[in-house]
Amino acid sequence: MDGTPGNTQAIPVGPSGPPTESMNDTRTPTMPTDTRQANLESILRLAPVVPVVVIHDLAHAVPLARALVAGGTPAIEVTLRTPVALDAIRAIATEVEGARVGAGTVLSPRDLDDAERAGARFAVSPGATPDLLDAADDSAVPLLPGAATASEVMLLLEHGYTYQKCFPAEAIGGVALLRSWAGPLPAARFCPTGGITPENARDYLALSNVVCVGGSWLAPNAVVEAGEWHAVEKLARAAAIFRRIG
C-alpha cells in the first residue's frame, strides 16, 4: 500500500460518522401496530358500553367521570366538540382513579396530537383519512377509526386495524349490516356507535364481531347539567351488566 487514494470514493460523514436512515428523522419512535391494537382491545373490553360524552362545563368533567367509573364503565370517550373538551380529558386523566379517558371526534393529526398531550388513552374518529392514519402510526395513542362500508373495513384491516368503530351504526344498517360483515370480514371487530340505545344495545352485543358499543345515553345532557351524578352512576351500572358475545 502506498497510501494513495486511487479510485476509492470518500464516504461523506456527518458529525458522528456515516449517514444512517434515521439521521434526519426527528419523529418519536413509533409503537408497533400490534401493540397499539392490544392496548385498544384491553380498553374496549373493560365494559360492554363505552360512554360517549359531550362536556360543556369543565366543572362537570371529574364528577361525571367518577360516576361513570363507579358504575362500572371506566372507558370514557370525551368528544372534541366543545372548547373545554381537551381540558376535560386532562382533568379526568389526572384526577379520576380507574378512568381510561379517550378523545372522540378526532378528525385530524392535530386533534390526535392534542388528545395525546392532554392525556387521552385512546382516540376515536368517525372515519379515516390518509393523513390521520399516518399520524396514528406515529402516535402512542391507539386509534379506533370509523368505517361505514365493507371497502372501508377492508382498507383499515390492511393498515392493521382489527378494532374499528362502525358509524353511524343504526343509520347504515345496524345489527343486520354487522351480521352480514361477520362472514366475509371475520378478522374485524367493531364498536358500533350512533343510534345505540339501552333497548337495542343487547342486539349488537349478541354479535360475534362486536366487542362493545358506544352510547351517549349514560350521560344525558339534562342530567349532567343538573349535576345528578347518582343518576349517571345508576345508568352506568345498568349498562355494565349487559352481556356480550364478541
DSSP per-residue string spanning 98-136:
T-EEEEES--SHHHHHHHHHHT-SEEE-SS--HHHHHHH
Nearest Cα neighbor of 170 from 199, 209, 150 is: 199
Catalytic member of 21, 165, 170, 228: 165
Neighbour order of strands in the sheet with 189-192: 146-147, 163-166, 189-192
HSE of 228, CA atoms in CB hemisphere, 13 A: 13
What is the residue-level pLDDT of the chain in tens, covering all 246 positions? Answer: 444 444 444 434 333 444 443 334 333 457 899 999 999 999 999 999 999 999 999 999 999 999 999 999 999 999 999 999 999 999 999 999 999 999 999 999 999 999 999 999 999 999 999 999 999 999 999 999 999 999 999 999 999 999 999 999 999 999 999 999 999 999 999 999 999 999 999 999 999 999 999 999 999 999 999 999 999 999 999 999 999 988
User: Is residue 165 annotated as a catalytic residue, yes or no?
Assistant: yes
Q: Please name the CATH architecture into which domain 33-240 falls.
A: Alpha-Beta Barrel (3.20)
Report the chain's C-alpha Rg in angstroms. 22
Is residue 162 a contact partner of residue 186, using CB atoms and an 8 Å limit? no
Is residue 126 a contact partner of residue 21, using CB atoms and an 8 Å limit? no
Is residue 209 a contact partner of residue 181, using CB atoms and an 8 Å limit? yes
What integer pLDDT is reported at residue 42 of this predicted model?
Answer: 98
* Residue reference for cell 391494537: 37
User: Is residue 21 annotated as a catalytic residue, yes or no?
Assistant: no
Can you tell me the distance from the alpha carbon of 11 to that of 29, in angstroms, rounded to the nearest whole number?
27
Catalytic member of 21, 41, 77, 170: 77
Question: What residues contact 10, with CB distance under 8 A and at least 6 apart?
Answer: none
Q: How many CB atoms are located within 10 Å of the residue 221 CB?
A: 11
Domain ranges for the chain, please list them.
33-240
Is 84 exposed, middle or buried, given 0-12, 13-18 or 19+ CB atoms closer than 10 A? Answer: middle
